[in-house]
Amino acid sequence: MKLDKKIFWDVDYDNLDWEKYAHWVIVRVFERGDVDDIRQVRRHYGDDEVKTALLNAKHIRYNRLHLAAAVIDEPINNFRCYSLQQSTPEHLRF
């Protein structure tokens, strides 16, 4: 699997264990990758693994959460990160 190294700017890309950290890789690609990167991750890990990783992620940026929901065909309220965000809303800003 060949992904854009910019997605993994903070880790050693060449020594990354793609299988051990599969869920982290999947979430990172959905948050920071482009369409081609997402396609590669889906081909490499399979849709079931991608779905499991995304639904159980503790955090996915809100704008990318909608993309993930569309790709795996799940409503956003089924995502763990969405439930966590709803249970700890931000303070009101005036």
Number of domains in the chain: 1
> Does residue 12 form part of some domain?
no
> Does residue 55 form part of some domain?
yes
**Best CA proximity match to 35, nearest among 62, 13, 4:** 4
Helix (H) or strand (E) holding 72: helix 62-72
Q: What is the pLDDT along the chain (94 residues), one digit of tens a residue?
A: 889 999 999 999 999 999 999 999 999 999 999 999 999 999 999 999 999 999 999 999 888 999 999 999 999 999 999 888 766 666 544 4
Domain of residue 59 covers: 17-87
pLDDT of residue 92: 42
> Does residue 34 form part of some domain?
yes
> Does residue 37 form part of some domain?
yes
> Does residue 5 form part of some domain?
no
pLDDT of residue 94: 42
Q: Are 82 and 57 in contact (CB under 8 A)?
A: no
> Does residue 82 form part of some domain?
yes
> Does residue 71 form part of some domain?
yes
Q: What angle do CA 14, 60, 76 make, to 5 degrees?
A: 135
> Does residue 1 form part of some domain?
no
Report the alpha-carbon distance of residue 55 to residue 76 in Å, rounded. Answer: 9
